[in-house]
Chains A and B, each alone.
Chain A
Amino acid sequence: MRRMGIFAVVVVILAGAAALGWRVYSGPAAPAGQVALGQAVADFTLPDTNGQQHSLASLKGEKGTLLIFIATQCPYSNAYNQRMEALHRDYNARGIRLVGINPNKTEPAEEVRSHAQQNGLTFIVLKDPDNRIADYFGASVTPETYLLDAGNVLRYHGRLDADHKDAGLNSGELRQALEELLGGQAIANTGKKAFGCTIKRVG
């Protein structure tokens, strides 16, 4: 009986450890299916570049949330670094939270962290190690943006502007959508196709 008791304790400890391990190492919780314009985005959790987990619910802005899939090595994404930082600077105080997400399997968290530092990106950048969130959003390339309103409904999906080489465009198409969202108006242009580097997916 005593032996069985010890066995039971060991089983419970192992089960507990396994459960804890699963929670820690199973990767981000991801909603099933794929979200479309006009639909509410389900909550999800991703780690930042230090491994700390963040849920969408904990990050969302008061007026909305701007998710941008970005890369460290993609020239298209990098062409927009300063434009993305300007968006963060201009809209954070107005209630829009910018969240960068790196979905590339070829770009580890340390690289994402140093890339953000070197390029002066002060918004949070999360790592999507299994591309499960990129899959959920149907993201194909970097940079690719998703604007959610205060209720996490997807209102804009696409590019920042028409030309990665023309910094003067200043994310004009996306800014127009942001202004319309903040002004309580319908968004006239819900996003043209993002063009950039293909996301390097797992598997």
Chain B
Amino acid sequence: MSGKRAPGLVLAILLATTLGACSGSEPSAPLPITTAAEWIDLAGLEQRIEAERGRVVVVNFWATWCEPCREEFPDLVALDRRYRARGLTFLSVSLDDPAERDTQVKKFLAEQKPSFAVFVKTAGDPDQFINGVDPAWSGVLPATFIYDRQGQRRHAIFQPQTLAQLEQRIQPLLSSSQ
């Protein structure tokens, strides 16, 4: 590709992205990524999932003190890298203690270098948050919820997953009608 054409391509991508996000045409573009471990509450999470309508959304709840979560994390990073361009949005929500966001959480993220959005749940009653996400969820970590392009929850998984297991779940959703 010539250097002259690149700016035009960038502009075209930017335009398509903006139009896609505004018009809701499919597949929509992912929202900007943040690994800054921003705060999120239940309402914020629901809005975020809603905003990704048109894409397959995987929401993973974890904590740095949860060993199975730490073990699972590299597979999640790989999943995001492999499928984002094909319509997958990965949202990561840490249920660490808010006081540990700037220490444990950010340290772990610096090691793992995820390219997906990472949030930390704001302080507050975990029972309300857990029930708000899914009354069937005991609060066990890790927990992973998968939404189809229409925003319908299709999977609620309460144990660590491998990349292959997650691929098996998301591939049919990614290839379903957009």
Contact = CB atoms under 8 A, between A and B. Distances in A.
Interface of A: 74-76, 140-141, 159, 162, 165, 192-195, 197-198, 200
A76 to B, nearest CB: 7
Given A74-B65, A165-B97, A198 B127 contact: no
Interface string B62-88: 000111100000000000000000000
Interface in B124-169: 125-127, 130-131, 138-142, 158
23 contacts: A74-B65, A75-B65, A76-B65, A140-B138, A140-B158, A141-B140, A159-B127, A162-B125, A162-B126, A162-B127, A192-B125, A193-B126, A193-B127, A194-B139, A195-B95, A195-B126, A197-B65, A197-B66, A197-B141, A198-B140, A198-B141, A198-B142, A200-B68
A141 B69 CA distance: 14
Given A76-B65, A197-B65, A140 B127 contact: no
Contacts of B65: 74-76, 197
Contacts of B6: none
Nearest to B159: A198
A195 B66 contact: no
B22 interface: no
Interface residues of B, number: 18
B-side binding surface: helix, strand, loop or mixed? loop
Contacts of A159: 127
B11 interface: no
B99 interface: yes
Contacts of A162: 125-127
Contacts of A200: 67-68
B99 A165 contact: yes
B65 to A, nearest CB: 5
A167 to B, nearest CB: 14
A59 to B, nearest CB: 26
